[in-house]
Structure 1
Amino acid sequence: MSHAIAIKTHRRLLLTGAAGGLGTALRPRLKHNCEVLRLSDLADVGAAQAGEEVVQADLANADQVDAMVAGCDAIVHLGGISVEAPFAAILQANIVGAYHLYEAARQHGVKRVVFASSNHVTGFYKQSETIHADHPARPDGFYGLSKAFGEDLARLYFDRHGIETACVRIGSSFPEPKDRRMLATWLSYDDLHRLITACLSTPVLGHSIVFGMSDNAVTWWDNSRARHIGFVPKDSSDVFRDAVYARTSAPDLSDPAAIYQGGAFVKAGPF
């Protein structure tokens, strides 16, 4: 793990979505970034360990979110639905939930948020294109749409209330790439931690969009607009390339999942 790169920037750091896959991976890592790591999720995150607090909260419940944020110095917001889903569910967890989070941050004076956005904000750009943070959103479903809303919400709360946010458009963060698409989108757990550490520790963050990817040779995303954050990935999908090619077939270039950056999300249900 990349504990050596952690910087203890905050006294109490809130991690939402702590029961999820990325929350579970970040839990031991982020404890090195703060004195107290407050873990929250609607699901059970288990007992609090040394240096931890646990606050269960439903993002759709404003009072619970307010209590979850109270006393925290910064927020890493991974909570919500992370896959394509019916709009009613996305609305409550990701759109109403994001509003509740930023309102609580405003009320409690929290001035820095790391918001887990997604590559699905721009999923309808083609895999033959290279885009940067100034390209317009082209969400590939309700999930991507909710993350585009979250980015705009974060900008509003920066412009109106000075709450700095890094909107991290996470690619594919797993122990290793699962397929050929992930050779471009892969983000190692250690690089994810490096990225969050950079977002929490850079002197001036503002409202910034940064693509969450490791140092992959193949990439669709240009992170030049986020150099002020200071994120330097150390891992790369390239070491997995031969194994990925050996176990996967060549893409069908007439398949929308192979044409667009969002992959299978561009044709996922429910519509």
Structure 2
Amino acid sequence: MDREPLSDEKIPESVDPTDVYVADVTDETAVRNAMDGVYAVIHLAGDPRPEAPWDSVLRNNIDGTQQMFDAAVDAGVEKFAFASSNHAVGAYETTDRTPDMYRPHHEFRLDGTELPRPSNLYGVSKAAGETLGRYYHDHHDISVVNVRIGNLTQHHPPKEYERGQAMWLSYRDCAHLFECCIEADYDYEIVYGISDNDRKYYSIDRARAVLGYDPQDNSAEFTFEGEPLDEA
């Protein structure tokens, strides 16, 4: 389900076009229709802007997520993967830790057991989504995994950006991680969504242990300028 029609190349051959819904995540009727017969949900919708204003994150990210959970529970969905964000814990990046925490061999790690510490209202909305997941798991027994996504880019890590390279998530690893969210067994989890970077301040141990996540990419395989080392 998406707010705008997907281009043909973005729809897998195995997906019937009649199963693709074009709707707003806050449209209750459309969301409930899309949930019919669904086993698992990967919820990526929302306003992704770090600078998004409160009225937008409230409607799209918080109310929209609650709408998704409610419809999922009523439809008997078994698993719900929520796309959270590094911004839900962005304020842990304090001036006394940065930029050293972005560099290899620095020992500071966030592992998902820490409390949210949002860096903006977008991060607040993602922390709220994680809490909604806790509620729906505890009261409705739906399996929920929150993936605090790092910096998602397709062909290479963010160029000349230490923070982005420390939290890089490649497209390949992202697809694999969410596939694990569908296939693994879990109750309620918070994991970090990054590749297996030498630079990292997010631990992926929980994602490995609970989901079977096995990332293949590493920002250290690229130069600081984003070029593959074997081509530099």
State the TM bucket, normalised to the shorter chain.
Answer: 0.7 to 0.9
Q: Using the aligned pairs only, state the percent identity.
A: 34
Measured in 1, the distance between the counterparts of 2:65 and 2:127 equals 11
Which secondary structure does the structure 2 equivalent of 1:115 belong to? Answer: strand
Measured in 1, the distance between the counterparts of 2:192 and 2:122 equals 17
Measured in 2, the distance between the counterparts of 1:224 and 1:244 equals 26
Instruction: Please list, as runs of the form range in 1=range in 2, the aligned pairs for 1:156-195 lying within 5 A after superposition.
Output: 156-175=135-154, 176-178=156-158, 179-195=161-177
Instruction: Please list, as runs of the form range in 1=range in 2, the aligned pairs for 1:190-201 lying within 5 A after superposition.
Output: 190-201=172-183
TM-score, normalisation: structure 2: 0.83
Deviations 1:58-90 (A, max 9, x none): 111211211121121111111111112111011
Partner of 2:230: none
Structure 2: gaps of 5 or more residues: 102-107, 228-232
Aligned CA distance change for structure 1 residues 238 and 94 (closer, same or farther; 3 Å): same
Q: CA deviation at 1:223?
A: 2.7
Partner of 1:80: 46
Partner of 1:90: 57
Which secondary structure does the structure 2 equivalent of 1:120 belong to? Answer: helix
Contact 1:180 1:244 in 2 (8 A): no
Contact 2:86 2:150 in 1 (8 A): yes
Q: How many aligned residue pairs are there?
A: 205
Deviations 1:10-45 (A, max 9, x none): xxxxxxxxxxxxxxxxxxxxxxxxxxxxxx111121
Partner of 2:117: 138
Partner of 1:211: 192
Which secondary structure does the structure 2 equivalent of 1:200 belong to? Answer: helix
TM-score, normalisation: structure 1: 0.72
Measured in 2, the distance between the counterparts of 1:236 and 1:50 equals 30
Instruction: Write the letter of the residue equivalent to 2:6.
Output: V
Measured in 2, the distance between the counterparts of 1:199 and 1:243 equals 32
Aligned CA distance change for structure 1 residues 194 and 157 (closer, same or farther; 3 Å): same
Measured in 2, the distance between the counterparts of 1:113 and 1:137 equals 20
Measured in 1, the distance between the counterparts of 2:216 and 2:71 equals 35
Partner of 2:73: 106
Structure 1: gaps of 5 or more residues: 1-39, 246-271
Measured in 2, the distance between the counterparts of 1:225 and 1:173 equals 19
Measured in 2, the distance between the counterparts of 1:185 and 1:104 equals 32
